Amino acid sequence: MTGLADLAGAFGQLLTPTMLFHAAWATLLGIVIGSLPGLTATMGVALMTTLTYSLDSTTAILVLICMYVGAIYGGSRSAILLNIPGTPASAATSLDGYPLAKAGRAGYAMGLATAGSALGTVVGILMLVMIAPPLAEAALNFGSFEFFWLAVFGILISGQLTADTTPLKGYIAGLLGLMIAMVGSEGIHAHVRFSFGVPDLYAGIALIPAMVGAFGFAEILTAMWNKSAEMATGKDKSDRTLPHMVDLWRHKITIVRSGIIGTLVGIIPGVGEDIGAWASYAAARKSSKEPEKYGQGSHEGLISAETGNSAVVPGSLIPAITLAVPGSASSAVLIAALFIHGIRPGPLIMVEQPQFISLVGAMLITATVFMGIFGLTLTRAFVQVLRVPYSYLMPVVFVLCVIGTYALSQRTFDIWIMVGFGLVGFVLRQMKYPMAPLVLGIILGDLLDKSLRRGLTLSDGDLTPFFTRPVSACFVAIIALSILMNFAPVRRLLALPFRRLMGQRDA
């Protein structure tokens, strides 16, 4: 009850004309970015981070969270109309959304997607407010030894920040980011490393130029390779945007189940919104009375996919805020933004800013309200947005990349860093290497380096405390198990007792 009371109190900071204005335009812009194939939620949050540097921390975080929520939802627009997910999280939405659009029910499909997204976010918010505070309090026992293993675990899960490639490529990208984080002066004795005599590298490679290059400029180059798709333009006379309440009530169990699944998937570090959508879709189809309709324009399938991917957003913020370990690629960028705006996510968040979790919950609810309003009233406008040619859109995005990078420090060198990371990112994308682990490695590299050095200082060079302290030992066991689970023989061996148990039950 205390968490809900704090949540209600947090609205007092947001219910001002200025805050509501920022929430409105950020959510709308997020929906537009999510609607355009090739522009992802992660890219939107990365670009917006550079443009919110002059805002106070509360306003900046509100803008970024509204951008995040809007972009994840916005991907359903192009998934339904073009059969091309605007973001990877909307891939499952296209299975039933596009057939509905081809049948002339595009408006109703987008209405169902809007309702599902809003309800999924609400379920995730309730779980965020209930789970995050006790998790943060439990993490207060962390010291340098535990922070070191936490950073190692964060690098390790980079192998799971992959959508269409092998975990090994995720690990390689994460280690590459870790190597980049080692460039410049180290955090304790200010010894310069790996600068190669370049004075601009003495302070290290700044996170924002690297992030904007990897997610912004690289996205531009990648998007220019995408083929255009045919838009579903047919319209049924009975089509409407506002979904029937009886339709939503009929699928109430699916909505609650998908919301819980999405939130739990979000809590697992490194999984992401796309897995939340697919897991919810699979669970709904398995328990459905009409599974044969899935993929043919099923209302239940569309609702489950959208509810699941939107519930991941608040779920992914639970480990991001309390442990500084991202639950998705977008939350990895959001962690960087929090540090830039003077907020330190991690176990100390409940000590330094005890009301922050409730404030984030209030921000998510505000974003959800505007998402519902825009989603139900601006359907025709979003259709026109999808018609914008890449030849007009991408130069604007590139200008934003350059301006956002230069505005932070007024250094031309940072623009070259952005361009360099964009070119490298484009090449890595063509080779199916994910970008999120690269940025995650840069974020966690400083924490890993400092925690290792401090831990060795406290123990006089003895490595034993890294393995014998209770929390550290748990992290070591989890990390070892995570590594072993990548080998098929180990997975089969661990699954053997469960198979035998199921065989005995069947017998």
Residue 193, H or E segment: strand 192-193
**Distance (Å, whole) CA 474 – CA 369:** 40
pLDDT of residue 370: 92
Burial 290-302 (b: 16+ CB within 10 A, else e): eeebbeebbbbbb
Q: Would you say the pTM of this structure is higher than 0.75?
A: no
pLDDT of residue 1: 47
Which residue, 110, 107, 80, is CA-closest to 95? Answer: 80
More confident residue, 235 or 172: 172
Q: How confident is the model at residue 25 (pLDDT cuts 50, 70, 90)?
A: very high
Mean pLDDT of 46-56: 81
Mean pLDDT of 74-87: 74
Q: How confident is the model at residue 503 (pLDDT cuts 50, 70, 90)?
A: low
- Provide the 3-class DSSP secondary structure of residue 192: strand
Distances (CA, A) of 422 to 217, 219, 416, 419, 429: 5, 8, 10, 5, 10
CA angle 11, 14, 17 (to 5 degrees): 135
Which residue, 342, 362, 363, is CA-closest to 352? Answer: 342
- Provide the 3-class DSSP secondary structure of residue 90: helix
Mean pLDDT of 26-33: 89
Q: Do the strands 184-185 and 192-193 form a parallel or antiparallel pair, or are they unpaired? A: antiparallel
**Distance (Å, whole) CA 426 – CA 487:** 30
- Determine contact, residues 160/427, Cβ cutoff 8 Å: no
Encoded tokens for 492 = 């089969």
The separation between CA 380 and the C-alpha centre of its own chain, rounded to angstroms, equals 27
**Distance (Å, whole) CA 62 – CA 57:** 8
- DSSP line for 280-292: HHHHHHHH-S-GG
**Distance (Å, whole) CA 32 – CA 389:** 14
Radius of gyration of the chain (CA): 23
pLDDT at 282 over 70: yes
Q: What is the DSSP letter of 140?
A: G
pLDDT at 7 over 70: no
Which residue, 72, 82, 97, is CA-closest to 299? Answer: 97
The 10s digit of each residue's pLDDT in 319-361 is 888 877 777 777 878 888 888 888 888 777 777 777 888 888 8
Q: How confident is the model at residue 26 (pLDDT cuts 50, 70, 90)?
A: very high
Encoded tokens for 224 = 């220019």
